[in-house]
Amino acid sequence: MANPWIAVGALALVAIAIPFGMMAVSALLRPTVREQGKSAIYESGEIPTGNTRIRFNIQYYMVALLFVVFDIETVLIFPWTVIYRDAVGSAGLFAALVPMLVFIGVLVIGLAWAWRNGAVRWVKSPRAEQRRREQQQ
């Protein structure tokens, strides 16, 4: 029985070797023509204005925070799913199921709280709201 993680490591080598191989082939084939203006970043054919580090919707951050909570929770659920059927056999349905129901219940209450506080509602910009009001008039 070979160690599976050595095999995974071998695939990791291949997964790095394939992109590098393609890059090497491409480096042999492709031309390099230096030309002014070619390297400008794309902004619909216009000359780029301002900095790239623009302000963006805070909602991306809120969603990422929420994700951290639920991701850790899925990590904690997985061991339970693996032993669940054996646990029902040895400790009974009540003892195997109810603690996890309580755990999921706490999380669902957390989700409901985030939901009520608008963490998963996309905040519209004031300008978009204003434009919508103007269109209605």
Question: Binding residue for another protein (CB under 8 A) from 36, 52, 135, 137?
Answer: 52
Question: Binding residue for another protein (CB under 8 A) from 99, 102, 106, 108?
Answer: 108
Binding of residue 137 to another protein (CB under 8 A): no
- Contact between 87 and 96 under an 8 Å Cβ cutoff? The reply is yes
Binding of residue 126 to another protein (CB under 8 A): no
The CA distance from 127 to 129, in Å, is: 5
Binding of residue 38 to another protein (CB under 8 A): yes
Question: Binding residue for another protein (CB under 8 A) from 36, 64, 133, 135?
Answer: 64
Shortest distance (Å) from residue 105 CB to another protein? 9
Token look-up 């919707």 returns 57
End-to-end, the C-alpha distance of the chain in Å comes to 74
- Contact between 57 and 128 under an 8 Å Cβ cutoff? The reply is no
